[in-house]
Every structure is written in C-alpha cells, then in structure tokens.
Amino acid sequence: MPRNPSPLKIVSPKPEPSDSLGAGVLPGDASAPQGATQRIVDSITNAIAERRLMPGTKLSEQKIGDIFKVSRTVVRQAFNQLSRDRLVVLEPARGAFVATPTVEEARDVFEARGILEAAVTKRLCAVITDEQIKQLREHLELERAAVANAEVHGRTRLLADFHLVLARMLGNQVLVQMLSELLTRSSLIALMHQSSHSAEVSHSEHLAIVDAFEKRDVKAALRLLSKHLDNVQQNLRLDPQRVDLADILK
C-alpha cells in the first residue's frame, strides 16, 4: 500500500516547570532523561488514538527531534518502544512508519479485546459501586456533548476511553495497559479499513452497557458489550473486495 504523503504533524505538549525535557538535552546524548523518550511515545500514541496520524505516515527522526528539542538517539529510543507496541514499523534503510494493520491482525485485535473486556465487564459488574456508576454517567455526558458538537478528536478519545474507564475501576494497572494498547491499535485498524461505525451508535451502545451495570445485570452487560464490539468490527471493511479491471479502466 502506498505511503501516506501527508506531512507529519505532531503537537508537542507544553512541558511542566518540573519537566527535565528541554534544550539542555544534547544531540547524541544517549543518557537523555527517560521523560523525553516517553513524551515522544505518548504524543505519537495519542495522535494515533485520536486518528490524527494515518497508517503509513513516515515519521522523520530529524523533524520529531526538532519538535521535541531532543537528539535523534532519543527519537530512535521512542521509535523502538512504539515498534514493540506494534504502532510503528521500522524498515531498514527507509525509516519509521505508522503501522498499517493487516486484516488478520485486525481480527486478532478484536478477538483479544472481546476476551479481555468480557472479563473486565464480568468482574466489574459484581463489585461496581453507586459512585462508579455516577462517574460512568459523567463520562457519558462528556461523550454526548462531544458527539453533539462534532468534536472529532475529542469524541474519538472519549469513546475509546469509556472502555479504559471500566478497566481502571477494577484498579488493575496491567489490565489498563493491555487494553490501552489494544484500543490504540483499534484506532489504526479503523483508519486502515475505513470504519463506518458512527459515533452516535457507539455512544448509544455505551449508554445501554452502563444501564446494565446500574442494574448489576451481568448477563445483559456481557451481551451488550459483545454486540457493541461485533458491530464495530462488522463495520470494518475486512473482507477484500474483488476488483474488476474492466470497470476500473473503462
């Protein structure tokens, strides 16, 4: 698949006063603060999750180094971490590119999400508190507002974060990290395979899931979650379409 020719645009977060990242990071300094590497990782990950970075986009070491005022060594460290997370592909003599998930990978990611999120849902439904229900309702209100105002990046982040909020309520950081990685890869998959699943539908499905949580109805919650993930996956164009050259080249 041809690489996306659009220029790389990553907004570097403004550093906090206590942050050690800055012009003091010398070019070629492999001992640069770990925070510098993580900042690049977080920025690229967020851009992918919010669908601001397209699959196949080339990531320039020099440009990213200039954006974050760090050496190319630090940028390469970030690329290596993103590669381990399957968000970036490193190609010899060509550089780093935002990953382009295959159909097989897409199916694997959604299968993994189904298994993991079902476990989260089953466990949470047994222990969820009224205060946590209130927190979920507040999150749903943020979703509703973002969808109504057509805030594309905001609603994308909030709709994905709904699933993370559920995992965080169990207090298991390993679960949160695993699900976070799968959700970011899901964003790439949706971009790559042109998801037509609307934000309005996702929001309404989230509402139904929270209603089931409020009733402590684990069977309904599991059924609604499964339906939600199935709907998202079914709206991806994962089945290769046959191409009729006669129609295309007329």
Residue 208 pLDDT exceeds 80? yes
Mean pLDDT computed over 142-160 = 89
Where exactly does CATH 1.10.10.10 map onto the chain?
34-98
Q: What class is the 103-234 domain?
A: mainly alpha
Residue 108, exposed/middle/buried by CB under 10 A (0-12, 13-18, 19+)?
middle
Backbone angles phi, psi at 104, to 5 degrees: -60, -45
**Mean pLDDT score of the chain, rounded to an integer?**
84
Residue 37 pLDDT exceeds 90? yes
Three-state DSSP at 225 gives helix
Tokens of 19: 């942050």
- pLDDT value at residue 238: 73
| pTM, 2 dp | 0.73
Residue 227 pLDDT exceeds 60? yes
- pLDDT value at residue 247: 59
| Helical spans, DSSP H, in 12-128 | 34-49, 61-68, 72-84, 103-127
Three-state DSSP at 93 gives coil
Evaluate whether the domain defined by 34-98 bears CATH number 1.10.10.10: yes
Nearest to 224 by CA among 110, 147, 122: 122
Residue 67 pLDDT exceeds 50? yes
59-75 in b/e burial notation, b at 16+ Cβ within 10 A? bbbeebbebbebbebbb
Where exactly does CATH 1.20.120.530 map onto the chain?
103-234
